[in-house]
Copies of this chain bind each other. A is one copy, B any other.
Amino acid sequence: MSFRYIFNKMKNYITISDIKNLQQTISEALRLKKENTAAGLGRGKTLGMLFFNPSLRTRLSTEKAAKLLGMEVMMMNVDKDGWTLEFEDGAVMNSNKAEHIKDAAAVLSQYCDIIAVRAFPGLENRDKDEEDLVINSFKKYATVPVVNLESATGHPLQALTDALTITELQNVKRPKVVLTWAPHPRALPQSVPNSFVEVMQRMEVDLVITNPPGYDLNPAVRKNTEVTHNQDEALKNADFVYVKNWSSYESYGTILSEDKSWTFSEQKLKLTNNAKIMHCLPVRRNVVIDDAVLDSSNSVVIQQAKNRTFAAQAVLKMLLEEKRDF
């Protein structure tokens, strides 16, 4: 079966919506986890990984995924190792930006068969962040497939991992999945919860989002997903709880609350249906989730992290095959 049926668009993985057939992609990832059947597929191909921000799991799991496919990996901390990039079209480049994304993306496309990029939002200007300028510029100017390693508005490799992990662990046909906000000392992006909501909306699950007032996610992402401001109510009968902080979308990029009563504790766990507890990591222990929960057998955060490799491998595999077939 051709992979044109898996990807909507030919050649990028920018949002979860770039996957057309989600169940098939999840199955592919689980197959690769069981047995690496594509070890030679990437031979002679190169993955370029570009970081504008720190990374541990994404960096190492994607590098590992590429190598499991036989690809070479070239890694750059863009602003530290390379040149400061200009993203504005038509800019007169007489200030501190040394290279235009137009040229950088075109050049990288000469050396790499797939380009993967991480670039966080500034969290100061909502309109600007929603343009998702860095990843979309690479998409626009690169002539090879582009993979999102977490952009201003989404983290689709994490979301695919999360879908994979729930699929692996669910023991009812239609589990209740709760995404709950939790406090955090710093203002964080909405990219992880955005992509999680998007992928869950395509799964056979009952999804509930719970967060304090003022923390409702982008309506264009939420759509008709139920949102409640009563965390305890939301947690009832939950089979999976995804705990995650994000900064306000309405009062864009600000911290409206550090309310400790939203920290995910043993007491909160007891409200659930013995739920599996998920988090994308890194997690602030005893602020976002208590040690007692993270160190309990209900926590699946390490298994989630392991699955990053296979989600990335499935995506890279499909991009490589796409290239071959078309």
Contact = CB atoms under 8 A, between A and B. Distances in A.
Interface in A87-132: 90-95, 98-100, 102-104, 106-108, 110-112
A285 B76 CA distance: 23
Interface stretch (A10-18, A60-68, A216-224, A230-238): A60-68
A42 interface: no
Copies of this chain, count: 3
A69 to B, nearest CB: 12
A81 B61 contact: no
Contacts of A185: 94-95
Contacts of A83: 54, 56, 282
A202 B286 CA distance: 46
A302 B60 contact: no
A60 B108 CA distance: 8
Contacts of A76: 56, 59-60
Given A99-B56, A285-B91, A305-B107, A74 B63 contact: yes
Interface string A277-307: 0000111111100010011000001100110
A103 B64 contact: no
A309 B82 contact: no
Interface size class of A (residues with CB under 8 A): 35 or more
A19 to B, nearest CB: 23
A57 B104 CA distance: 9
Given A90-B286, A94-B185, A107-B305, 11 more contacts: A54-B83, A56-B76, A60-B111, A60-B112, A64-B111, A86-B285, A93-B285, A93-B287, A95-B185, A110-B309, A111-B309
Interface of A: 46, 48, 51, 54-57, 59-61, 63-64, 67, 72, 74, 76-77, 80-83, 86, 90-95, 98-100, 102-104, 106-108, 110-112, 185, 281-287, 291, 294-295, 301-302, 305-306, 309
The 6 closest A-B pairs by CB, nearest first: A99-B282, A110-B306, A93-B284, A56-B82, A92-B286, A107-B305
